[in-house]
Structure 1
Amino acid sequence: MEAALLKFTLPTMAGAVLLSLVGYFLLRAIYNLFFHPLKDIPGPKSWSATRLPYIWALLRGTFVHDIQKLHRKYGPILRIAPNELTFTHPSAWNDILQSHCGRPPFPKDPTWWTTQRVHTEGLLTALNHETHARMRKALTPGFTTRALRSQEPIIQRYVNLLVERLSEMIDSPSSGEKDNKGVAKAEVDISPWFNFVTFDIFGDLAFGESFHCLENSKYHPWVAILFHTPAMATKVAAARFYPWLESALFKLIPPSLRKMQQDHWGQVVERVAKRMNYEVEREDIMSPILRGNTKNEMSLDDINGSFMALVIAGSETTATVLTGMMNYLVQNPQYLRKVTDEVRGLGDDGREITLDSLRELKWLNAVLTEALRLCMPIPWILPRRVPDAGGVVAGVTLPGQTLVSIQAYAMQRDPNYWRSADEFLPERWLPDASKPESEFYTDKREAFQPFSMGPRICLGIHLAWAEMRLITTKLLRAFDFEAVDGKRLEWESLKTFMLVERKPVVVRMRHASH
Structure 2
Amino acid sequence: MSSPTPSTTLAPMAGVESSWFIMWTFSFPMIWLVLTIIYNLYFHPLAGVPGPRSWGALRLRYVWALVSGTIVHDFEKLHHRYGPVVRVAPSELSFTTPDAWTDILQPGRTPPLPKDGRWSIPGLKAQGIVNIVDLDLHGRVRRLIAPAFTTSALRGQEPILQQYITLLMDRLRDLVTTENNGTDGVEIDVVPWFNFVTFDMLGDLAFGESFDCLHTSRYHSWIELLTNTPKAGAFAAAALFYPLFASALKYLIPASLKNKVLDHVRVVSEKVERRLNLESTRSDIMSHVIKQIESDGLEGLTMDHVNATFMVLTIAGSETVATTLCGIVNYLAQNPSKLSILTHEIRSHFSNPHEMTLERLKGMLYLNAVIDEGLRLCPPVPWLPPRVAANGGSVVCGIPLPGRTAVSILTYAMGRDPNNFHDHLSFVPERYLPEAKTDPQSPFFNDRRHSYHPFSLGPRICIGLHLGMAQMRLILARLVWEFDLKPPTEHRKTQWEKLRTFILVEKNEIFVNFKLKEGLWTTEMKSSASS
| TM-score relative to the length of structure 2 | 0.92
Shift in Å at residue 416 of structure 1?
A: 1.6
Matches of 2:67 and 2:252 in 1, distance apart?
A: 18
Matches of 1:6 and 1:121 in 2, distance apart?
A: 56
**Match of 1:447?**
451
1:252 aligns with 2:255: no
Matches of 1:267 and 1:274 in 2, distance apart?
A: 11
**Match of 1:140?**
146
Q: 1:452·1:458 contact (CA, 8 Å) conserved in 2?
A: yes
Shift in Å at residue 267 of structure 1?
A: 1.9
Shift in Å at residue 263 of structure 1?
A: 2.3
Does the C-alpha gap of structure 1 residues 6 and 372 become closer, same or farther in structure 2, counting only changes over 3 Å? farther
Q: What SS does structure 2 have at the residue aligned with 1:219?
A: coil
Q: What SS does structure 1 have at the residue aligned with 2:386?
A: strand
Shift in Å at residue 185 of structure 1?
A: 3.5
**Match of 1:158?**
164
Q: How does 1:32-71 map to 2 (within 5 A)?
A: 32-71=40-79
Q: How does 1:402-441 map to 2 (within 5 A)?
A: 402-434=405-437, 435-441=439-445
Does the C-alpha gap of structure 1 residues 14 and 337 become closer, same or farther in structure 2, counting only changes over 3 Å? farther
**Match of 2:478?**
474
1:366 aligns with 2:372: no
Q: 2:384·2:503 contact (CA, 8 Å) conserved in 1?
A: no
**Match of 2:333?**
330
Q: 2:353·2:478 contact (CA, 8 Å) conserved in 1?
A: no
Matching residue's letter, 2:345: E
Q: What SS does structure 2 have at the residue aligned with 1:345?
A: helix
Q: How does 1:1-20 map to 2 (within 5 A)?
A: 13=21, 15-20=23-28
Matching residue's letter, 2:249: L
Does the C-alpha gap of structure 1 residues 292 and 184 become closer, same or farther in structure 2, counting only changes over 3 Å? same
Shift in Å at residue 487 of structure 1?
A: 1.0
Shift in Å at residue 225 of structure 1?
A: 1.4
Q: What SS does structure 2 have at the residue aligned with 1:439?
A: coil
Query: Of the candidates 485, 491, 506, which is equivalent to residue 501 of structure 1?
Result: 506
Q: 2:85·2:96 contact (CA, 8 Å) conserved in 1?
A: yes
Q: What SS does structure 1 have at the residue aligned with 2:101?
A: helix
1:290 aligns with 2:298: no
Matches of 1:410 and 1:46 in 2, distance apart?
A: 21
Does the C-alpha gap of structure 1 residues 351 and 236 become closer, same or farther in structure 2, counting only changes over 3 Å? closer
Q: 2:336·2:486 contact (CA, 8 Å) conserved in 1?
A: yes
Matching residue's letter, 1:463: L
* Structure index of larger Rg: 2
Matches of 1:54 and 1:215 in 2, distance apart?
A: 42
1:126 aligns with 2:98: no
**How many residue pairs get matched?**
506
| TM-score relative to the length of structure 1 | 0.95
Does the C-alpha gap of structure 1 residues 4 and 473 become closer, same or farther in structure 2, counting only changes over 3 Å? farther
**Match of 2:355?**
352
Matches of 1:227 and 1:302 in 2, distance apart?
A: 21
Matches of 1:14 and 1:191 in 2, distance apart?
A: 57
Matches of 1:134 and 1:85 in 2, distance apart?
A: 30
Matches of 1:187 and 1:350 in 2, distance apart?
A: 23
Structure 1 stretches (4+) deviating beyond 6 angstroms?
1-12
Shift in Å at residue 513 of structure 1?
A: 1.6
Does the C-alpha gap of structure 1 residues 351 and 278 become closer, same or farther in structure 2, counting only changes over 3 Å? closer
Q: What SS does structure 2 have at the residue aligned with 1:30?
A: helix
Matches of 2:77 and 2:215 in 1, distance apart?
A: 43
Q: What SS does structure 2 have at the residue aligned with 1:170?
A: helix
**Match of 1:308?**
311
**Match of 2:105?**
97
Structure 2 gaps of 5+ residues are 1-6, 520-531
Shift in Å at residue 119 of structure 1?
A: 3.9
Matching residue's letter, 1:470: L
Matching residue's letter, 1:366: A
Query: 1:174-217 deviations in whole A, cap 9, x for unaligned?
Result: xx125xxx825322111110000000000000000010001111
Does the C-alpha gap of structure 1 residues 142 and 37 become closer, same or farther in structure 2, counting only changes over 3 Å? same
Shift in Å at residue 331 of structure 1?
A: 0.5
Matching residue's letter, 1:234: A
Query: 1:262-283 deviations in whole A, cap 9, x for unaligned?
Result: 1221221121111112122201
Matches of 1:496 and 1:473 in 2, distance apart?
A: 28
Matching residue's letter, 1:185: G
Matches of 1:382 and 1:3 in 2, distance apart?
A: 58
**Match of 2:84?**
76
**Over aligned residues, Cα RMSD in angstroms?**
2.0
Does the C-alpha gap of structure 1 residues 444 and 350 become closer, same or farther in structure 2, counting only changes over 3 Å? closer
Q: What SS does structure 1 have at the residue aligned with 2:132?
A: coil
Matches of 2:353 and 2:200 in 1, distance apart?
A: 28
Q: What SS does structure 1 have at the residue aligned with 2:492?
A: coil
Q: What SS does structure 2 have at the residue aligned with 1:381?
A: coil
**Match of 1:108?**
115
Matching residue's letter, 1:53: R
Query: 1:207-231 deviations in whole A, cap 9, x for unaligned?
Result: 0001000111111111111111100
Q: 1:171·1:184 contact (CA, 8 Å) conserved in 2?
A: no
Does the C-alpha gap of structure 1 residues 123 and 48 become closer, same or farther in structure 2, counting only changes over 3 Å? same
Matching residue's letter, 2:96: T
Q: 2:205·2:285 contact (CA, 8 Å) conserved in 1?
A: yes
Shift in Å at residue 9 of structure 1?
A: 8.3
Does the C-alpha gap of structure 1 residues 5 and 65 become closer, same or farther in structure 2, counting only changes over 3 Å? farther
Shift in Å at residue 10 of structure 1?
A: 7.9
**Identical positions, percent:** 46
Moved more, 13-22 or 361-370: 13-22
Shift in Å at residue 309 of structure 1?
A: 0.8
Q: 2:144·2:298 contact (CA, 8 Å) conserved in 1?
A: no
Shift in Å at residue 15 of structure 1?
A: 4.3
Structure 1 gaps of 5+ residues are none
Matching residue's letter, 2:239: A
1:28 aligns with 2:36: yes
Matches of 2:129 and 2:354 in 1, distance apart?
A: 39
Matches of 2:17 and 2:335 in 1, distance apart?
A: 70
Q: What SS does structure 1 have at the residue aligned with 2:55?
A: helix
Does the C-alpha gap of structure 1 residues 10 and 513 become closer, same or farther in structure 2, counting only changes over 3 Å? farther
Q: What SS does structure 1 have at the residue aligned with 2:355?
A: coil
Matching residue's letter, 1:186: V
